[in-house]
Amino acid sequence: MNSANLQLDDNGSLKHFLTIDGLKREHLVSILDVAESFLNVSDRSVKKVPALRGKVVANLFFENSTRTRTTFELAAKRLSADVLNLNISVSATAKGETLLDTLRNLEAMHVDMFVIRHADSGAAHFIAQHARPGVSVINAGDGRHAHPTQAMLDVFTIRQMKGDFTPLKVAIIGDILHSRVARSQILALNTLGVSEVRVIAPKTLLPHDARESLGVHVFHDLEEGITDADVVIMLRLQKERMDGALLASEQEYFQRFGVTQARMKLASPDAIVMHPGPLNRGVEIESEVADGPQSVILEQVSNGIAIRMAVMAMAMNPRALGGESA
């Protein structure tokens, strides 16, 4: 499957947003720039722009995710779309309805965009391949595969705080093996041309060929990997996706890989600390770091609305952007 061909229309504009893979630097920069233009919408007395007026957006979440679903809902409403939130786990699939049946029934209700979160890798691609012309699909996370809007809000936050990507050394710490966020982050960071992407994790939480398959520098020692890093990103332990005992204990994990104030002193003095959430205090990160002056975790949450507004507007109605988003 050629992800770029599926995601882009004949003019090279975004029609779906399924993965970072296959997109060029200019596509990512365009998303960041449009998101920048949407940032001030949250500060207005009327928090809306008309970019998707008259459109219907359906949030199809087959997995729970309060933060992602809420920010997608807010983003769609700020674009003036009508929004349907479907708890699929207790509706269609419980009745034996297939993914394709669900799609066809919602298309019959004239839904214009689907935001899909699913436990199976490739679910969003499947919907995009079978959706009728004119319908856009946004991947809100599929299995271990991709979470492209999370990656984009992360790099948006990095650009906001650091400016130029090129000189940056970025350290990603934790459960790389099970993380769709990490895969999307690494693709985005490499596409945007950062100096170095490092992954820091125990061997049991890394793909065996991480260096070659992901294009990263691999570290099994946190203090070595965090030294001189400009950006420190932690990932949560995804115990729901772990088969067997990949960790001795959470306490041992924190002793070896938890980010503490003492360890942050090894990073660059102006390093920023990030976490896609939900974070586990005392397991991945010390509270003093999560709530400290280097943390931009809450900024990531705020930026998620602007990024998701940008992706939805670009995919559904690019012509509506001229002047209306500023």
Is position 67 annotated in a ligand binding site? yes
CA distances from 281 to 143, 185, 235, 256, 311 (A): 24, 22, 12, 15, 31
Kindly report the three-state secondary structure assignment for every residue of the chain: CCHHHHHECCCCCECCECCCCCCCHHHHHHHHHHHHHHHHHHHCCCCCCCCCCCCEEEEEECCCCHHHHHHHHHHHHHCCCEEEEEEHHHCCHHHCCCHHHHHHHHHHCCCCEEEEEECCCCHHHHHHHHCCCCCEEEEEEECCCECHHHHHHHHHHHHHHHCCCCCCEEEEECCCCCCHHHHHHHHHHHHCCCCEEEEECCHHHCCCCHHHHHHCEEECCHHHHHCCCCEEEECCCCHHHCCCCCCCCHHHHHHHHCECHHHHCCCCCCCEEECCCCCCECCCECHHHHCCCCECHHHHHHHHHHHHHHHHHHHHCHHHHCCCCC
Is position 236 annotated in a ligand binding site? yes
Is position 263 annotated in a ligand binding site? no
Is position 27 annotated in a ligand binding site? no
Is position 180 annotated in a ligand binding site? yes
Paired tokens of 187: 């693709």
Is position 117 annotated in a ligand binding site? yes
Residue ranges for the known binding site for L-aspartate are 95, 180, 236
Residue ranges for the known binding site are 67-68, 95, 117, 147, 150, 180, 236, 277-278
Residue ranges for the known binding site for carbamoyl phosphate are 67-68, 117, 147, 150, 277-278
